[in-house]
Amino acid sequence: MKKILFICGSLNQTTQMHQIAKHLMKTYDCYFTHYYADGIEHAVAKMGWLNFTVLGGRHWRETDDYFKRNKLKVDPRGEGHEYDLVFTCSDLIVQKNIRNKRLILVQEGITEPEGIVYQLVRWLGLPRYIANTSTNGLSNAYDLFCVASEGYAEHFIRKGVRPEKIAVTGIPNFDHMLQFKQNDFPMHDYVLVATSPLRETFRLDNRAVFIKRCVQIAGERKLIFKLHPLENAPRAIREISKYAPEAMVFTHGNVSHMIANASTVITQQSTATFVAVALGKEVYTNLNLAELKHLMPIQNGGTSATQIAQLSLRLFHAPKREAQPQRVRSRGKARRTQALPERP
């Protein structure tokens, strides 16, 4: 029986991978692994210094709990078997043992703006993960890149992703956002703040100014903060207690359900902004709302996982890659097609 490996990361990435796998498990032998690294990154992660990333900490624990809860077959670091196909949630690191495999990259959510760090990574050839999700898709190490929308296809092509490798499938978890209105979150008609781990990922964040602005926007309405899983929660809670003492703070919970019940949503740089825009909420964000509407994940009634799984079956008949992954540097535009990518 052919074997498929799913490389997971955050809980959002893990649930997306599981949704795809459900359509393949009856026919193929499917295994899962936490996100992992090689070399110095692996050594640093083992020391706990990367616990603010998907290589450790809360993300690792939540994914591990999910594996156990759903009784999934786990192959740590994908080292226990020879795989015919690999799905990955991120190409910021392309692990050595998958570089000659048939590889499918699935977009997780929103990508970060192309700031100075992104420019330095592109022009100096630095590791892609330094610029976080702004460099998603730039490894060129995959056979197929499943993206959220036509807008995102244009976005990635502009950055240099090869258009013949892109398939606009939509992405699980964000392809049927109306469903979030059906939830059991008990509160309604409040102002929700969905924070981002800017400081934890070495970006500027004047949190005091941000919290004060949230209080101003809320006025007399109830103010709720939902902290990002990567945030330093004790520090964030102390700051909110100081500048917004009447606000409620959640460190866990389904942020999409919280957004659905809110009247106003405030974000920094979060995929949650897509949910707020899709559900017609009043939105305040650091992001460009016009651009977000252009990039909005297609709403196909929750069929993205099915489409991705069906596309993946064609890769079983494609030859394995021999070349090592190369960084994408081209900035030229090209026309995108949805055909299966040809071999380089």
Q: What is the DSSP string of 55-122?
A: TSHHHHHHHHHHHHHTT--B-GGG-SS--SEEEES--SS--GGGTTS-EEEE--S------HHHHHHH
Whether the pLDDT of residue 186 is over 70: the answer is yes
**How far, in Å, are 101, 254, 318 from residue 342 at the CA level?**
15, 39, 9
Tell me whether domains 3-175+298-317 and 177-295 share a fold: yes
Q: Which residue in this structure is represented by tokens 């690294």?
A: 37
Q: Is the pLDDT of residue 201 over 80?
A: no
- Please name the fold of domain 3-175+298-317: Rossmann fold (3.40.50)
Decide if pLDDT at 239 tops 50: yes
pTM of whole model > 0.85? yes
pLDDT value, residue 228: 93
Categorize the per-residue pLDDT at 272 as very low, low, confident or very high, splitting at 50, 70 and 90.
Answer: very high
pLDDT at 202: 75
pLDDT of residue 181: 97
How far apart (Å, rounded) are the C-alpha atoms in residues 323 and 163? 19
Mean pLDDT score, 227-253: 96
Is 95's pLDDT higher than 90? yes
Say if residue 154's pLDDT is above 90: yes
Give residue 230's pLDDT: 87
CATH superfamily entry for domain 177-295: Glycogen Phosphorylase B; (3.40.50.2000)
pLDDT tens digits along 299-338: 999 999 999 999 999 888 777 666 444 444 434 343 343 3
- DSSP strand pairing (264-267 vs 29-33): unpaired
* Sequence ranges of the domains in the chain: 3-175+298-317, 177-295
Compute the mean pLDDT over every residue in the chain, rounded to the nearest whole number.
91
